[in-house]
Amino acid sequence: MLQEKELVKEDKKEVQSVFNRKVIVQGSLWFALITVAAIAGVFFFTHTGSTVNALSHISYGYIAVCFGMLFIDLMLGSWRNHIYIRKLAPQVSQWVSFRANVANMFMGAVTPAHGGAGPAQLYVYTSHGVKFVDAFAVALINLGATLIFMPLAGVVALLLMDQHEVSGMVPAMLKYGFGFFFLFGFAFLLAFWKPVWVGSAIKKIAAALSRVLPQKRERLLAWAESTYTKISLYQQTCRVILREHPLLFPSSLLLTAVLYFNKYCLQYVILLGLGVPASLVQVISIQVLIQFMIYFAPSPGGSGFAEVSISVLFGKFVPAALLPIFTLLQRSFLLFFPALIGAYVVLNLLRKQTMRSEP
């Protein structure tokens, strides 16, 4: 029990090391700079004069529908966590899960490969009385649902979409996406089903590295032992949750599918608002691939990679004058607007944290 408390305390420190003002400010600056540069590049490449004229043809009724779909997206994302949280901590409201979700989206936007998303969610939940172990287990279980859904959706998209759309840089990005999803998915499943195997492998790797780096031997071996114990602890917690509530994981998978389907359809509604005729199946397939390719992108929020992917794949049937507008609207509804809401939540939490730390 004492060792468990020490491990949880150590994990909390790691969360706070990501969830701090310096990391947020630096990530936000990089995210803004790369995004602005990428969208500006799309504007200049497609002739800004025609783009400005095309703005007058937007159907704002469809844009209003997009805001409704954005609200559904945020609620589905929060409910995907809350179906677990309401069982583990009944006193925590749906509103807390909403804030945890948007904080997750904001920190995912300003950190490479969504690295800060999980810590933000954990920080919100633990700030409202959820045990760290439970909040961490919920994050792991939903990560598992995403790791299962995304590659399957990517395979289906490749089967359904027009194959000549997959050209240029796309095959390389697909390999990158599938590679990372396979790696993370395999590690996740192995750690869940066979934690002893993973722990033994980590210890062997640490021992091998300690022979190469003898000056770091103690630190490496301590890290391996700590990691092994953490895997066992969180795996046991996840198993208890899933055993006591067996219907929750299938529900999580279903909510994950509906959540992402809503995101994918949003692009189609934007195109209708711009007056662009398109196949719903092709639009969804392309967006599946874009989401899949940028999920583990090394830039904050996939910035740069996302804008280029949109211009390459949707540029096959979206007129050049409308492409910058579509890119901006797509990124706004899927990332910028949720991130702005999340920024308010995160900054408010940091302000309260600062006030508590002051004498």
DSSP 112-151: BTTTTHHHHHHHHHHHTT--HHHHHHHHHHHHHHHHHHHH
pTM summary value:
0.81
> Which residues share a beta bridge with 112?
300
Least confident of 26-35, 95-104, 316-325: 26-35
Instruction: Decide if pLDDT at 50 tops 70.
Output: no
pLDDT band at residue 14 using 50, 70 and 90 as cut-offs = low
CA distance linking residue 160 with residue 150, whole number of Å: 15
pLDDT of residue 67: 96
What pLDDT, on a 0 to 100 scale, did the predictor assign at position 2?
Answer: 39
Band of residue 1 on the pLDDT scale cut at 50, 70, 90: very low
Distance of CA 49 to the CA centre of its chain: 35
Better pLDDT: 48 or 255: 255
Average pLDDT over residues 224-231: 73
Which of the four pLDDT bands, split at 50, 70 and 90, describes residue 43?
Answer: low
The more confident residue out of 198 and 84 is 84
Say if residue 13's pLDDT is above 90: no
Each residue's pLDDT tens digit, 195-209: 667 777 777 787 787
* 341 pLDDT higher than 80: yes
Most confident option among 119-128, 144-153, 258-267, 348-357: 258-267
pLDDT, tens digit, 9 for 90 and up, residues 89-124 = 999 999 999 999 999 898 888 877 666 777 888 888
pLDDT above 60: residue 325: yes
Please name the residues in contact with 337: beta carbons below 8 A apart, sequence gap of 6 or more.
70
pLDDT at 69: 96
Mean pLDDT (whole number) for 128-151: 86
Average pLDDT over the chain reads: 79
Residue-level pLDDT at 175:
65
What mean pLDDT is predicted for residues 32-52? 67
More confident residue, 16 or 308: 308
Bridge partners, 300 (sequence order): 112
Closest CA to 162 of 321, 317, 308: 317
Please give the pLDDT value at position 166. 55
Q: Report whether pLDDT(316) > 60.
A: yes
More confident residue, 218 or 268: 268
Query: Which of 64-73, 156-165, 184-193, 320-329 shows the highest mean pLDDT?
Result: 64-73
How large is the average pLDDT for residues 312-320? 82
With 0-12 CB in 10 A as exposed, 13-18 as middle and 19+ as buried, what is 215?
exposed
Which pLDDT belongs to residue 256?
94
- CA 323 to CA 125: how far, in whole Å? 39
Q: Are 302 and 294 in contact (CB under 8 A)?
A: yes
**Domain segments of the chain as ranges:** 2-357
Residue 70 confidence (pLDDT) above 80: yes
Q: What is the pLDDT of residues 152-165, one digit of tens each?
A: 888 787 777 766 65
Q: What is the DSSP letter of 316?
A: G
> Residue 169: its pLDDT value, please?
54
Taking each helix axis as running N to C, give the angle between helix 170-193 and helix 132-160, from 0 to 180 degrees, rounded to the nearest 10.
Answer: 140
Is a pLDDT exceeding 90 seen at residue 255?
Answer: yes
Statement: residue 226 has pLDDT above 80:
no
What Rg do the C-alpha atoms of the chain give, in angstroms?
A: 22
